[in-house]
Homo-oligomer: A and B are copies of this chain.
Amino acid sequence: MKLYDSRRAPNPRRVRWFMAEKGIEDIEIVDIDIFGGQHRQPDYLAKAGLPNVPALEMDNGATITESVAICRYLESVYPEPNLFGEEACEIAVIEMWARRAEMMVSTPLMMAVRHSHPAMAAIETQIPEVAANGRATAEKGLRVLDRRLADSEFIAGDRVTIADILAATGIDFARMVRFRPDPELVNVNRWLAAMMARPAAKAGV
């Protein structure tokens, strides 16, 4: 297998963090220079289909993009420790929380960064109202996570799962626009500190 990676970008970091939690070290890492436009070159597009990073060349030779699809595939090859759930009901609960983390917090924060950080003006037609809406949506989403984390050590339950990785990488990326969870969200802040203290938090940054 071969992972097409890019430092400092949030979606590649999800996969690197996921791999680090599993101790995966035998996949070749190929660095793609996004700011130099390497992801738009014909040879990369021929493999990945879209100018997106990360991409994974799977065991059957096909290449996929989409961080969560890549992580789920890696889970099938490297099942331990389990990060997507063991049986159908647990898998469903973890996917529910992973989607909430992504759609209510991480994607809105990525929109906030893309539509407001000066360095992103090169790759995005920035719309201030879209940035503001992203930030406001994430603030609401974090209140939902805070209530959940009052009852639960991690987002989907009593152990780290893909849901925690999606939320933590999204929140940490938004430091680029000086975003921090409200200090009043004590459960989110306790959980975020625990996530950022994990060795895997250093992967891919």
Contact = CB atoms under 8 A, between A and B. Distances in A.
Nearest to A55: B96
A185 interface: no
A47 interface: no
Contact of A58 (B50, B66, B89, B99): B89
A96 B66 contact: yes
Counting chain B CB atoms within 10 Å of each CB, which of A91, A95, A103, A107 scores highest?
A95
A62 interface: yes
Contacts of A130: 129-130, 133
Interface string A58-90: 111010111011101100110000000000110
Question: What is the size category of the interface that chain A forms with chain B?
Answer: 20 to 34
Nearest to A136: B125
Count copies of this chain in the complex: 2
B62 A91 contact: no
Given A68-B99, A99-B66, A92 B133 contact: no
Contacts of A103: 107
A128 B127 CA distance: 11
A2 interface: no
Nearest to A93: B64
Contacts of A76: 88, 91
Contact of A69 (B65, B99, B144): B99
A150 to B, nearest CB: 13
A117 interface: no
A88 B59 CA distance: 10
A92 B64 contact: yes
A100 interface: yes
14 contacts: A50-B144, A58-B92, A62-B89, A64-B96, A66-B95, A66-B100, A68-B99, A69-B96, A69-B99, A72-B92, A76-B88, A103-B107, A128-B129, A130-B130
